[in-house]
Amino acid sequence: MGVLPSPLAGSLLVAAAWLVVAVAGLIPAGNAAFARRFAFPLGAAAGVALAALGLQAVWLPAQTLTLPLGLPDLPFHVRMDPLAGFFLMLLGSVSAGISVYAAGYFREEPSGRLTLISMQYHVFLASMAFVLLADDAYLFMVAWETMALSSYFLVITDHQRPAIRSAGFLYLLIAHLGAIAILLCFGVLHGGRGDYTFDALRAAQLQPAWASVAFLLAFFGFGAKAGMIPLHAWLPEAHPAAPSPVSALMSGIMIKTAIYGMVRVTFDLIGGTSGNIRWEWGMAVLVVGAGTTLFGVLYALVQHDLKRLLAYHSVENIGIILLGLGMAMVFIGFGHPAAGALGLIAALYHTLNHAVFKGLLFLGAGSILHSTGMRNLNDMGGLIRGMPKTAFYFLIGALAISALPPLNGFVSEWLTFQAALQATVLQHGVVRSLLPLFAATLALAGALTAMCFVKVYGIAFLGRAREPAHRSPLPHAGDAGPMERYGMAWLAAGCFVLGLFPTSFLLMLNRVGVSLTGHGLSEDALLGSGWLWLVPTAMGQASYSPVIFFVVIVAVTLLAFLLVRRFYHGRLRFSDPWDCGYPEQTSRMQDTADAFGQPIRHVFGPIYRTDRRLPGPEDTEPRYSLKVEDRHWYWLYLPVARAAEIVSSKIALLQQGRISIYLLYSFITLIALLVFVR
């Protein structure tokens, strides 16, 4: 090719720039000044450039390029199409805010560790970019494994602690199990013919049974990275262990690369080879998505570790995305591609929205941890007095993840509901009746999420700290620094932009849907109603105006404030709150995080594995303790671990440590091979 296509060339340059920034911090060795002052801001600037290039690529035809890298017969192929452009826009825009935040967050890190963090951080960003640009299985797997390894080293930054090493090992183990499944999926798609470029995989003719095998392998492999149940166990372990900017990258962006891989393989590679997508695949995705959604939010409600709580909400939101993808597969499988496009667009929109508001929430949690050293909600209280700016940004993220209008979380969940309401076009009675039930699951999860973040915000930022030891320093805890606030403000602005102006993003996502399925939403409906109105199907069926809704909210709030000030100003009587008959009010009368989730824990008791310790008469300082454990550890992971130990111990008997025994093994193997060949 003579001249490189600009979006593809620019994206490659940005990925290369991240690699250069990663290496530059090591020259000379331990160059902490470069990492502290330049590396993260340069990485943020590269992210903004990547977002602009990805947004441009959505509207252009697909562009391909063969790089002079790789092996002699396996060069690297890269491709920029609307799907890759959308995810590159997500990667660049969200990582820009997180990188700005990281410049302030890591400012006090020791020099030696800071240079390593900077190197691993920017290699992590570059590897995610190459995953999205890869156009062959070879480059995809190289970038995928680089992404896993770089994020693993970031997770174990504080590797001196055994719990963090254990969390890192669990993450790496599940990541590699998923990678094996993805590799097998590419092998099935390849079928022993042609090469490993994605064009060859699209052109391969698969039998329906083999197409289903490839889909199940991809669903398992990418689902392990995304965190769907029962492969979610690494998320609540790895996120609390990692530094907060890394947690924001992993939850906001990295698990979205798994969604990218799932969409790429299912709707592009398999969809192109088999000629259609089976509705049975969609039902499987819907069942797993509904279970993941409910499981994630129910376990988040009973957590008191803030970062662990946010990790379980990542599980929940992956389930919401899977609901949209499953609906898309069901509709396309039954021959209704327009309704399928709506489900796909809803899933992709929630993918972007979750990246923004979950990144914001993890950054807010990082600021709390940086200032107070606390992650336990029961130790917090009154943080709004010492950290008002962090409290403001965290509130925006909490409202967004709770799907409250006019912020972005509401729009994508509303679109998912609209996709479920298209079930009337289906002729299959059972499936038609099940889709509204999956929508009800989403509604329940939304209500429980709002309840959870009322708990989080009320306990952490409002009220007072329960323990006297935590009470005095909290009001004086320092707020986030300027760079940290800039990073949070960037993502908070994204929550408003994505929520107030969804029509522009729907046009972009419609282009992605058309490129994958050949069908999309009616642009006449999207454009004919103007930018004020969001019309996914037809104005007579459903419409929503975020701007008008926002104006009404502001007007009603101002009117209520003026009326109260006009008619009740000066008439207020202040009195102590009811103290339940106790002679003295103390801050320990406030609800704890455990008490807040107690009703849910009783209603959904069989889901939890609880270990409670009640205070006894012999306790001089009575304390109530509660530990909620994941049943998947005892149903799945521990049995597999024990079985692996038993098998390993039996196989270890072969290792006698004697050269004569090993020579005998070699001789027996040689004889067996000769017999087999004959």
pLDDT tens figures, 60-72: 888 988 888 878 7
pLDDT score recorded for residue 132: 95
Q: What is the mean pLDDT of residues 516-520?
A: 83
Q: Do 595 and 612 contact (CB within 8 A), yes or no?
A: no
Q: What is the mean pLDDT of residues 247-256?
A: 93
The two three-digit tokens of residue 129, written as one number: 């970019």
User: What pairs with residue 75 in β-bridges?
Assistant: 70
pLDDT tens figures, 432-448: 889 989 999 999 999 99
Measure the CA–CA gap between 591 and 327, rounded to whole angstroms: 40
Residue 345, classified by CB atoms within 10 Å of its CB into exposed (0-12), middle (13-18) or buried (19+), is: buried
- Whether the predicted pLDDT of 274 surpasses 60: no
Backbone angles phi, psi at 76, to 5 degrees: -80, 135
Asked whether the bond before 28 is cis by omega within 30 degrees of 0, the reply is yes
Query: Residue 4 in 3-state DSSP?
Result: coil
Mean of all residue pLDDT scores within the chain: 86
pLDDT classification of 457: cutoffs 50, 70, 90: very high
- Whether the predicted pLDDT of 11 surpasses 70: yes
Q: What region, left, alpha or beta, does residue 582 occupy, with left being phi > 0 and alpha being psi -120 to 50 degrees?
A: beta
**CA angle (38 as vertex; 249, 252 as ends), nearest 5:** 10
Residues 6+ apart with CB under 8 A from 598: none
Q: What is the mean pLDDT of residues 592-612?
A: 80
pLDDT score recorded for residue 537: 76
pLDDT score recorded for residue 474: 47
Place of tokens 């698969």: 206
Centre a 10 Å sphere on the Cβ of residue 207 and count the other Cβ atoms it contains: 11
**CA angle (463 as vertex; 460, 466 as ends), nearest 5:** 80
Measure the CA–CA gap between 347 and 353, rounded to whole angstroms: 10
Q: What is the mean pLDDT of residues 572-584?
A: 71
pLDDT score recorded for residue 215: 93
Instruction: Tell me the one-letter amino acid at 173.
Output: L
Asked whether the bond before 245 is cis by omega within 30 degrees of 0, the reply is no
pLDDT classification of 543: cutoffs 50, 70, 90: confident
Backbone angles phi, psi at 338, to 5 degrees: -65, -45
- Whether the predicted pLDDT of 527 surpasses 80: no
Measure the CA–CA gap between 516 and 341, rounded to whole angstroms: 9
> What are the angstrom distances between the C-alpha of 423 and each of 60, 322, 556?
33, 17, 36
Place of tokens 């994941």: 630
Q: What is the mean pLDDT of residues 619-647?
A: 78
Q: What is the mean pLDDT of residues 516-538?
A: 74
DSSP state of 5: -
Instruction: Tell me the one-letter amino acid at 515.
Output: S
Residue 583, classified by CB atoms within 10 Å of its CB into exposed (0-12), middle (13-18) or buried (19+), is: exposed
Picking from 80-84, 321-325, 432-436, 528-532, which range would have the lowest pLDDT averaged per residue? 528-532
Q: What is the mean pLDDT of residues 25-49?
A: 81
Measure the CA–CA gap between 526 and 236, rounded to whole angstroms: 39
Following DSSP, what letter does each residue of 154-170 receive, concatenated? HHTTTTTSHHHHHHHHH
pLDDT score recorded for residue 476: 43
Measure the CA–CA gap between 85 and 509, rounded to whole angstroms: 10
More confident: 156 or 480:
156
Measure the CA–CA gap between 536 and 378, rounded to whole angstroms: 43
Residue 72, classified by CB atoms within 10 Å of its CB into exposed (0-12), middle (13-18) or buried (19+), is: exposed
Q: In this prediction, what percent of the chain has a pLDDT beyond 90?
A: 44
- Whether the predicted pLDDT of 593 surpasses 70: yes
Q: Do 290 and 334 contact (CB within 8 A), yes or no?
A: no
Centre a 10 Å sphere on the Cβ of residue 335 and count the other Cβ atoms it contains: 13
The two three-digit tokens of residue 203, written as one number: 């052109």
Instruction: Tell me the one-letter amino acid at 612.
Output: R
Q: What is the mean pLDDT of residues 524-552?
A: 77
pLDDT score recorded for residue 2: 44
Picking from 145-159, 217-231, 376-390, 514-528, which range would have the lowest pLDDT averaged per residue? 514-528
Picking from 222-231, 487-496, 664-673, which range would have the lowest pLDDT averaged per residue? 664-673
Q: What is the mean pLDDT of residues 616-632?
A: 72
- Whether the predicted pLDDT of 5 surpasses 60: no
Domain parsing of the chain, residue ranges: 589-615+623-629, 635-677
Place of tokens 């327009």: 338
- Which has the closest alpha carbon to 302: 631, 629, 637? 629
Element (H, E) at 515: helix 502-517
Place of tokens 């069926």: 541
Question: Which residue blocks in 191-305 are alpha helix, DSSP H?
Answer: 198-203, 208-226, 235-241, 244-249, 255-263, 271-274, 279-301
Q: Do 316 and 367 contact (CB within 8 A), yes or no?
A: no
